[in-house]
A and B are shown apart, each in its own frame.
Chain A
Amino acid sequence: MYYTYAITGLILLISFIINKRRTIKAIKISFIKFKKIFPTFITMLILVSIILFLFPDEVILDYLGNSSKFISVLLASFIGSITLMPGFVAFPLSGILLTKGVPYMVLSAFTTTLMMVGIITFSLEKEYFGVKVTVIRNTISFFIALTIAVITGILFGEIFL
């Protein structure tokens, strides 16, 4: 996080030294773009706050730990698709799940859909790319996640062929 700020600050400074007027124009563009998309972010935050309430860590733990592998993979990909978590929350959680005996393939489905599929970010994504592309991209990503989960299962010896 901090290095992102440091790098952004440095680039901004260099840009300012090279050309003051352009840099100010850049900052204006940033503001305009941010302002345009901000309401959509708020909508998204409202959804996130409600969904995280409905699916707290304990519920996720419960769902992923207690059923058969294949049902767990499907459940994991659904939960991963509808929730949104930053990586610094998702991976420690997955680490805990791993120690509780949840198979790698289930966690792979969970973390990959978490990162690639966004039902919550749908409203944001469609602002930029349109509804159709957003639906297609998320569907493709969902199947990529399932593919990865199955291969993970094979390579970790959790699926026997």
Chain B
Amino acid sequence: MKRNVKIRIAYVSIYVLFLVVSFVLGYNPGKEIAFNFISFLIYMLKILPCAFILIGLFEVWVKKESIEKHLGEESGIKGYVWVILLAGTIAGGLLVAFPIAYSLYNKGAKLSIVFSYIGAAAICRVPMTLYEASFMGVKFTMIRLLISLPLVIITSILLEDYLTKRNYKMAEGK
């Protein structure tokens, strides 16, 4: 067995043991932690199946050439528009954005587009933005969107430059 796997088994066991003991002894912090764990697990199990099925479909249906053409090296400004629209319509935030961004990269999207996708998925999903505006006001939300999107795109381009100079490649087979 690999060392990482052993470590993981060790801390998961300690964690589970702690929760079980907490329940037996009626230790409240342990109970609260268990409750947090379960509520987040449910939240994730609600969004992740959809995300991964869409990723699977994306992998088999979308041709590498079309991603390269629209989101690859020669895509230009339009590439950013596409990827922000894509990010805006997919629910789930960063958790879901990482595997999707990874698939986009493997299909030939350039790095700056991939990072813009992650940034946009974090800050400008349409349903969440509407929800935000209803609590915080339209002005607050507009300021955030109008300032963050250009910053995300500019920093993504800079990050791509930096990484390309250092021959960065993402891990394979995730």
Chain A residues proximal to chain B, CB less than 8 Å: 1, 4-5, 8, 11-12, 15, 22-23, 25-31, 33-34, 36-37, 39, 41-43, 45-46, 48-50, 52-53, 86-88, 91-92, 94-95, 98, 104, 107-108, 111-112, 115-116, 118, 121, 124-125, 127-130, 133, 136-137, 140-141, 144, 147-148, 151-152, 155-156
Contact = CB atoms under 8 A, between A and B. Distances in A.
A50 B113 CA distance: 34
Interface string B59-98: 1110000000000000000000000000000111111001
Interface residues on B, range: 35 or more
B20 interface: no
B60 A111 contact: no
Contacts of B92: 4
B165 interface: no
B131 A87 contact: yes
Nearest to A115: B122
Interface string B28-62: 01001110110011011011111011111101110
Contacts of B125: 87
A33 B44 contact: no
Nearest to A93: B135
B170 A91 contact: no
A129 B57 CA distance: 22
Q: Which 5 A-B pairs have the closest CB atoms?
A: A30-B56, A95-B135, A49-B37, A26-B56, A49-B36
